[in-house]
């Protein structure tokens, strides 16, 4: 089988290519030219491809990445939301445009170095957690449409990160430290705020108020804040204060004590159904509301097409609109959607960002 492997120059994608080649597949390396830093990683990828004996080509998707991923990232921050660009990239770039390019080259499947599993059956393809719990990356693939999963291979889903490194080391390949995975591949040597300002995200100044509406200070732009933030608020108070709401229409930052950062339910939209059976109202799941958080229990309180309301069994803090919520049944990824509102107990201010 001919397989196009997305090769970044890091340990994971290198090991994925090696494993597929060892399994007898006809492996073709594909390096996405996404932004200016891809020029460095392209050189690394060429060296690695030569060492493992696979052809590799550069796929220029810069304009698409700038529009689809960076453009949304900038827009979300400008509206007071907390974006998740990696999920957008996996859906639209890697398993969208790159997949189409690979198929045009005669590839049967596309592979990446994510720590997750895809099980292909006669009926459909299911996305599962990776066996390495500490490195599981199924969260980042939850927005990939089911039809795209049918053409996806994930060679690292059944092994650990330690085994991955051993595979690469046993081939005598040294991966530069800077070429390994990063949080956001398109931001280097800058804070998020610096990057946003450099790219023209200029929001108006506005008031910082407490949960009762009292003005405590002024900020220079909402893009420097996110729900749950404590440090860098630019105000002083006798007790710690946290961002509990961002109003992008009035450019208001609302702050309060830690108890006001807890929410009881979330509303998500554009839900991407991936499970073996549909989500039913009243069904209990485990949900992740950000990549670094542990899954927590919730109940699907309402289900209407691609819009869901999820009620947490225990209040959760630091949940921000713009983030992705991913549902699980044991190891199975049921699907993922974008958080657009959160709700708290009566009498406690909602930690939502108001939609522009």
Confidence at 349, pLDDT banded by 50, 70, 90: very low
Q: Is 265 annotated as a binding residue?
A: no
Q: Within a 13 Å sphere around the CA of 27, how many CA atoms are in the beta-carbon half?
A: 27
State how far the Cα of 265 lies from the Cα of 237, in Å rounded to an integer. Answer: 29
Phi/psi for 276 (5° steps) reads -70, -25
Instruction: Note the pLDDT of residue 127.
Output: 98
What residue spans in the chain does CATH classification 2.40.30.10 cover? 203-356
Instruction: Note the pLDDT of residue 112.
Output: 98
List the catalytic residue out of 86, 107, 185, 298: 185
The pTM assigned to this predicted structure is 0.91
Q: Is 38 annotated as a binding residue?
A: no
Which residue in 55, 52, 51, 30 sits closest to 41, CA to CA?
30
Confidence at 191, pLDDT banded by 50, 70, 90: confident
In this structure, what token pair is assigned to residue 64? 């698409």
Average pLDDT, the chain: 91
Quick check: 122 pLDDT over 90?
Answer: no
State how far the Cα of 95 lies from the Cα of 91, in Å rounded to an integer. Answer: 5
Residue 330 burial class via C-beta count within 10 angstroms: exposed 0-12, middle 13-18, buried 19 and up: exposed
Q: Is 13 annotated as a binding residue?
A: yes
Q: Is 351 annotated as a binding residue?
A: no
Instruction: Note the pLDDT of residue 74.
Output: 92
Query: CA angle at residue 190 from 186 to 193, to 5 degrees?
Result: 95
CATH code of the domain occupying 2-179: 3.40.50.620
What residue spans in the chain does CATH classification 3.40.50.620 cover? 2-179
Q: Is 298 considered catalytic here?
A: no
List the catalytic residue out of 86, 89, 107, 298: 89
Instruction: Note the pLDDT of residue 355.
Output: 34
State how far the Cα of 260 lies from the Cα of 344, in Å rounded to an integer. Answer: 8
Q: Is 138 annotated as a binding residue?
A: no
Comparing 249 with 12, which gets the higher pLDDT?
Answer: 12
Task: Give the dihedral of Cα atoms 316, 320, 324, 325; nearest 10 deg.
Answer: 20
Q: Is 12 annotated as a binding residue?
A: yes
pLDDT digits (tens, 9 = 90+) for 267-322: 999 999 999 999 999 999 999 999 989 999 999 999 999 999 999 999 999 898 99
Instruction: Note the pLDDT of residue 182.
Output: 52
Which residue in 11, 63, 54, 77 sits closest to 32, CA to CA?
63
Q: Is 86 considered catalytic here?
A: no
Mean pLDDT of 194-218: 90
Tell me which residue has tokens 């089911």: 146
Q: Is 9 annotated as a binding residue?
A: yes
Q: Which CATH superfamily is domain 203-356 in?
A: Translation factors (2.40.30.10)
Q: Is 10 annotated as a binding residue?
A: yes
> What is the number of other CB atoms lying within 10 angstroms of the CB of residue 314?
9
């Amino acid at each position: 089988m001919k397989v196009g492997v997305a090769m970044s120059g890091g340990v994971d994608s290198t090991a994925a290519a090696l494993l597929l080649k060892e399994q007898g597949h006809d492996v073709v390396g594909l390096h996405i030219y996404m932004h200016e830093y891809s020029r460095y990683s392209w050189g690394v990828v060429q060296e690695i491809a030569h060492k493992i004996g696979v052809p590799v080509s550069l796929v220029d998707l810069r304009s698409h990445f700038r529009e689809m991923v960076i453009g949304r990232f900038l827009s979300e921050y400008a509206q007071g939301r907390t974006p998740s660009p990696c999920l957008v990239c996996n859906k639209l770039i890697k398993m969208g445009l790159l997949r189409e390019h690979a198929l045009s080259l005669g590839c049967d499947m596309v592979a990446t170095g994510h720590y997750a599993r895809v099980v292909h059956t006669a009926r459909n393809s299911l996305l599962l957690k990776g066996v390495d719990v500490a490195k599981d990356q199924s969260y980042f693939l939850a927005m990939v449409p089911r039809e795209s999963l049918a053409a996806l291979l994930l060679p690292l889903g059944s092994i650990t990160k330690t085994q991955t490194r051993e595979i690469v080391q046993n081939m005598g390949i040294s991966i530069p430290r800077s070429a390994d995975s990063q949080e956001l591949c398109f931001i280097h040597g800058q804070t998020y705020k610096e990057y946003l300002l450099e790219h023209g995200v200029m929001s108006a100044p506005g008031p910082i108020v407490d949960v009762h509406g009292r003005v405590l200070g002024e900020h220079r732009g909402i893009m420097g804040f996110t729900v749950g933030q404590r440090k860098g608020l630019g105000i002083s108070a006798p007790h710690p204060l946290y961002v509990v709401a961002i109003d992008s229409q009035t450019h208001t930052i609302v702050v309060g004590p830690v108890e006001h950062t807890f929410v009881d339910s979330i509303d998500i939209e554009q839900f991407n159904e991936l499970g073996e059976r549909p989500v039913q109202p009243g069904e209990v799941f485990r949900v992740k509301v950000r990549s670094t958080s542990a899954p927590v229990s919730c109940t699907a309180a309402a289900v209407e097409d691609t819009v869901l309301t999820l009620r947490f069994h225990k209040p959760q803090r630091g949940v921000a609109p713009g983030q992705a919520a991913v549902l699980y049944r044991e190891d199975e990824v049921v699907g993922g959607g974008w958080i657009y509102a959160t709700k708290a107990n009566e009498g406690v201010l909602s930690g939502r960002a108001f939609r522009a």
